[in-house]
Structure 1
Amino acid sequence: MKIVAVTACPTGIAHTYMAAEALERAANTLGIKLKVETQGAMGLENTLSARDIAQADWVLIASDRPVEQQERFIGCRLKQVNLEPVLLNALAVLKALQHDATA
């Protein structure tokens, strides 16, 4: 399974990057291929390419604010969550996507 994700918080500092790290750890545990774009105070980092998005089984947006360039994800399997569930239990968030992919 391959997931691309975007993380963003209102101030674009700590929670943006904490969520990205939590998702990366959880993906490693589950054997999921993951690429995370952060939309933080430094702007867009690790930007998702059109190819990344097209090859993904899921697009996960973990954000407490609107993300930039969301139109890139039209037509994709998209799941939007607030940052809190990712920060509290990223493993459960990714497991839910795995389950939804097989349902």
Structure 2
Amino acid sequence: MINIIAVTACPSGVAHTYMAAESLERAAKEKGWNCKVETQGSIGIENELSADDVSKAHFVILTKDIGIKNEERFKGKPIAKIAISDAVKKADVILSKIEEHLNK
């Protein structure tokens, strides 16, 4: 079972943060993968990733439109930095590329 984690954040910290999280979770579920997404929105950090979540992750997805808080906790993990709009609109494509990378 593939475990991926993600952190989504957008400049306004509202709609796209949560839309991206839902899109990534849905695309992972379609692949049969485990996915946990932390959101860093206008009301702060929600669904915060634990040290256990990070240690079990095969891959990390971070949105790059604004800085991600506590990014150093992902050191040593394969990371994809993507635009928030791509997370919302192209989550399936992103996960397919991650799958290709993991199968190398």
- What TM-score does the superposition give when structure 2 sets the normalisation length? 0.95
Secondary structure of 1:64's partner?
Answer: coil
- The 1-side partners of 2:21 and 2:89 are apart by 12
Secondary structure of 1:86's partner?
Answer: helix
Q: Deviations over 1:7-47 (max 9, x none)?
A: 00011000000000001111111111000000001100000
2:96 match? 95
2:3 match? 2
CA contact (8 A) 1:6 1:63 kept: no
User: Please, what is the CA RMSD of the aligned residues?
Assistant: 0.8
Give 4+ residue runs of structure 1 displaced > 4 Å after superposition.
none
Amino acid at match of 2:22: E
CA contact (8 A) 2:16 2:85 kept: no
Matched residues, number: 103
Amino acid at match of 1:49: S
Q: Higher mean Cα deviation, 61-70 or 15-24? A: 61-70
Task: State yes or no: 1:68 paired with 2:59.
Answer: no
Deviation at 1:63, TM superposition (A): 3.5
Amino acid at match of 1:56: A
Amino acid at match of 2:24: L
- What TM-score does the superposition give when structure 1 sets the normalisation length? 0.96
Deviation at 1:86, TM superposition (A): 1.4
How do 1:36-51 residues align onto structure 2 when only pairs under 5 Å count? 36-51=37-52
Amino acid at match of 1:91: D
1:21 match? 22
Query: For structure 2, which runs of at least 5 residues remain unmatched after alignment?
Result: none
Secondary structure of 1:39's partner?
Answer: strand
- The 1-side partners of 2:98 and 2:63 are apart by 13
